[in-house]
Structure 1
Amino acid sequence: MFEPILKRVENALGATVTRVSGNAMAAIPLLVAFGFALAAATYWANDELGPLYGNLAIAGAFLVVALIAFTYARRREAVQQARASAELAALTEASPMTAISRALQSSNVSQALYDLAKNAAPGAAKSAARAAIREAPRNLPLLIGAGLGLMAASRLVNAWTNGRRH
């Protein structure tokens, strides 16, 4: 029951990481090229229009670009917000709480809850096992450190008590 939601989150995170890393790799040469183009445009504008009007022309061009980018970002944000609201409504319809609420309202509550648990358990167990296996290598140094710390603490307690048991 939770598996489609977890899969959707996993896919969204993977796509975001891929997109951000690709954008970061393209951003550095793009910024260098933009710097050279800006220097050339400033040189040309200052040569053609003079220092005052040339710099004002460059500033005006950047102002127009900023306004266009701002308008585009606001429109894109509104579209994304509408899409997210629609997806949330769809997920709410298929959410576990909705299923539990429906089960509680049924005529045979105990059977409905039993069926709900029976259908949800394999997917939830599979998702939990995948998450545990995926996170285990990252937490391995922490687990080893905790084990070594407990071993050292037990030896210190043993040394302080001279091996006596309480």
Structure 2
Amino acid sequence: MATVDANSAEMSQQVAALPEKTNLALLRIIRDNFNTQYASQVASLAEFRDAVSAHSGTEVDASLLADFRAHVPLSNYDSYKPFVDKFNAQPCKEEDVMNMFSPGFPDLFALSSATSGSNSKMLPRYNHNARLGIPSRPLFYTDNKDPIAALVCTGYRDVKVVERASGEVVQRIPVCIVSGG
């Protein structure tokens, strides 16, 4: 019975800490992506940009979270599509796509399954953990006492090639089915 009470107390502490952890994660995401091409150009974020500039920029946690929650609407793929389409340009130039949705280049593009009746959507996937120096889990690892295996698909449908103005290739970004990414 004591073990159950200890587990329950630990679970309660973890649940109580979730709002703070969520806010810290949201702040990191907002700050990391605030100066990207998408965040600085899309019309639906204009009120958010204005509110942040009227305060102390992105430095004050409370006002940044309040501004985000008050001024960032839900979005759909239509707002992202013109920015994603820049990766389809021939040639795809570094200055046109660098820091598009997050710092740097996407690690891959995931293609949606198109089960909603429309065409597949190309969604950029950035590996924030690698950029932050957080090690990734190995392909086979243990979490607590139970082993977990990760399924890996090395296939891709296309590769987006990003070039410098000189024509030098600076990045190759695979386009994968979502389960493969």
| TM-score above 0.5 | no
- Higher relative helix content: 1
Larger Rg computed on CA atoms = 1
Compare relative contact order (CA 8 Å, sep 6+) and give the higher one, 1 or 2.
1
If the length of structure 2 is used for normalisation, what is the TM-score? 0.28
